[in-house]
Amino acid sequence: MAPFAWPDGHRAALSLTFDVDAESAILAVDPGYAGRLSTMSHQAYGPKVGVPRILRMLERTGLSATFFVPGLTADLHPAVVEAVLAGGHELGHHGHSHVPYHRMTDDEQRRDIERAFASLERASGGVRPEGFRAPWWELTNSTPAILAEFGLAWDSSLMDDDHPYLLDTGGGLLAELPVHWMLDDWEQYAYLPEPNIGAAIESPAKVLDLWGSELEALAGEGGLMVHTSHPFLSGRASRVATLERLVEHARGLGGIWIAPAGEIAAHVRSAIPAEEARPVNPVEIEEDVYGG
């Protein structure tokens, strides 16, 4: 495969993205957690403290980033949407309830997407996101075509490449910016006694080595590193400092384009011919393979 053509002589790309899940990530497990004040406070740390600290770091480093905000977060914390946009950052669509889409019918997905648009536009004064990230990174076989129905231009939920590509949904094209669990802070930092969202709290020094090593390797292959953080996790002081060190490392490597996901997606849509778009290929198996 030919190397991907990054703009302005860059050899690779890095995008810092933040999923501002707040309370929605826990309520999607069980709405009953709404009655547990301490658990909800753990989640509210993201919009209350984590996002402002992250925004200060981005201002210091002169970077723009993408913030994926569930509609429920926009309803509960509209000021966080205002702050993200006031800082010159991109607003991304992250569903409304944070319930994974494999638990929904197609029409339920449509209602969740539409409700989130309404909440985000209300909180932002009319800004309509162009990019999407599925709750829990769970697209169904029909979700890409549904995203195209709503006029979304790009997605960042799939994991089948180190380079961006075009996805032919059957109803329109999406730029796909692949992600991976190793580049997500959830697997490193998430912990609650209930619900069980993780069992280990890693040292930021170990996490920086993990992410920095992948960044170096992807840079050598001309790849894209989409980094995902959750402000209720990576908004902690030492963890924001770690993200800043990751930025410094990227700049020290040289030739890495650091940009919001939407800017990268726009380049993908202009750089890849439509005829090279990949189809959505559902996995099909014979009915008797698993005893059906």
Q: Domain for residue 1, yes or no?
A: no
**CA separation, residue 40 to residues 45, 77, 147, 240 (Å):** 9, 13, 30, 21
Percent of the chain exceeding pLDDT 70 equals 99
Q: How many domains does the chain have?
A: 1
Verify cis geometry, omega within 30 degrees of 0, for the bond prior to 260.
no
How far apart CA 167 and CA 249 sit, in angstroms, is 31
Say what the pLDDT of residue 156 is: 98
- Asked if residues 219 and 170 have their Cβ atoms less than 8 Å apart, the reply is no
Q: What is the DSSP string of 64-132?
A: --EEEE-HHHHHH-HHHHHHHHHTTPEEEE--SS---GGGS-HHHHHHHHHHHHHHHHHHHTS----EE
Statement: the pTM of the whole predicted model exceeds 0.85? yes
Say what the pLDDT of residue 292 is: 60
Q: Domain for residue 292, yes or no?
A: no
CATH number at residue 148: 3.20.20.370
* Torsion sign, CA atoms 78, 25, 200, 248: negative
| CA angle in degrees (0–180, nearest 5) for 72-77-79 | 135
Tokens 């930025």 sit on residue: 247
Say what the pLDDT of residue 3 is: 73
Q: Domain for residue 166, yes or no?
A: yes
Say what the pLDDT of residue 91 is: 98
Query: Block means of pLDDT (10 residues each) for the chain, length 292 residues?
Result: 84 98 98 98 98 98 98 98 98 98 98 98 98 98 98 98 97 98 97 94 97 97 97 98 98 98 98 96 91 69
**CA separation, residue 29 to residues 26, 99, 104, 178, 265 (Å):** 5, 8, 14, 25, 31
Say what the pLDDT of residue 250 is: 98
- Asked if residues 21 and 50 have their Cβ atoms less than 8 Å apart, the reply is no
Q: Domain for residue 199, yes or no?
A: yes
Say what the pLDDT of residue 287 is: 86
Say what the pLDDT of residue 291 is: 78
Q: Domain for residue 288, yes or no?
A: no
Closest CA to 171 of 136, 127, 141: 141
How far apart CA 259 and CA 263 sit, in angstroms, is 6
Q: Domain for residue 247, yes or no?
A: yes
Q: Which domain holds residue 201?
A: 7-279
* Torsion sign, CA atoms 95, 99, 100, 106: negative
Q: Domain for residue 228, yes or no?
A: yes
Q: What is the pLDDT of residues 7-35, one digit of tens each?
A: 999 999 999 999 999 999 999 999 999 99
Q: Domain for residue 265, yes or no?
A: yes
Question: For strand 12-19 and strand 66-69, is the pairing parallel, antiparallel, or unpaired?
Answer: parallel
